[in-house]
Amino acid sequence: MYKILLNSPLFKGLTEEELNRLFKKVSHQIRHFRSGEMLAQSGEEVGKAILLMEGRLQGEMVDFSGNSLKIEELGPPQMVAAAFLFGPQNKFPVFLSAKTEGKIMVIKKMEFTSMLSLEPRVMVNYINIISGKAQFLSGKITFLSLKTIKEKIAYYLLQRMKIGGDNSVKIDQTQTNLADFFGVARPSLTRTILELESQGILTWSRERVSVLDPGKLKFILGK
């Protein structure tokens, strides 16, 4: 268990021995979940800290028409709904479901608060996590405001080019998953990719996209 947790951003900088001592003072539970299981409903109170130990989870929003939009996919050893554990509106903003079977660690809010006071490094790590989530959600709002598939692709690639520092972007998900992420049908996404390739803007392989003309991607976004 501790080897998994040592890779979590929440426990960055701690040793296995330090983690062992910390969890002897903090009550926690390990819960298993099944593929397809709904772990939390949108609007449900976030009363516990949840650490994903194994498996994959996804957060989805559902509009009034019943259409779902995948907001985020989580893998271990991430913290779930970290930014919503405290505050006046501490409710799950999305429906949280399991993509695969796996397990989570659950820590009651008071126990988690005690953990933060017992180990200042965990407190600093937690602040960094929720700050990162706020920045992620800010970017997601910008993304959702984009109207066309071309705009969504352009924004997605330019953001990852900025992180990677070159014109090659690693694609770590299938086109089906990417279409879910964009909130569009896969055939529509495929047609748009082929159109961008025919215009000489990019080449798209299974695992990597080479951006041939970044200026045209910026033009699509009106930059």
Structural fold of domain 149-220: Arc Repressor Mutant, subunit A (1.10.10)
Question: How much is the average pLDDT of 200-219?
Answer: 92
State residue 50's pLDDT score.
95
The backbone torsions φ and ψ at residue 20, rounded to the nearest 5 degrees and listed phi first, read -60, -45
Who contacts 220 (Cβ-Cβ below 8 Å, separation ≥6)?
150, 151, 154
In which residue ranges of the chain is CATH 2.60.120.10 found? 2-144
pLDDT at residue 16 greater than cutoff 60: yes
pLDDT tens readout for residues 142-183: 777 788 999 999 998 998 887 656 788 988 888 888 888 888
Closest of 51, 14, 8, 9 to residue 29, by C-alpha: 51
Residues 79-137 pLDDT 10s = 999 989 998 889 998 899 999 999 999 999 999 999 999 999 999 999 999 988 777 77
Q: Identify whether the C-beta of residue 156 lies closer than 8 Å to the C-beta of residue 173.
A: no
In 3D space, the residue among 163, 167, 193 whose CA is nearest the CA of residue 178 turns out to be: 193
Domain 2-144 classified CATH 2.60.120.10? yes
CA distance 210 to 166: 9
d(CA 178, CA 171): 9
As a whole number, mean pLDDT of residues 12-39 equals 94
CATH 1.10.10.10 in the chain: give the residue spans.
149-220
CB-based contact 127:139 (threshold 8 Å) = no
- Long-range contacts from 130-139, C-beta under 8 angstroms, 24+ separation: 130/82, 130/83, 133/82, 133/83, 134/83, 136/72, 137/83
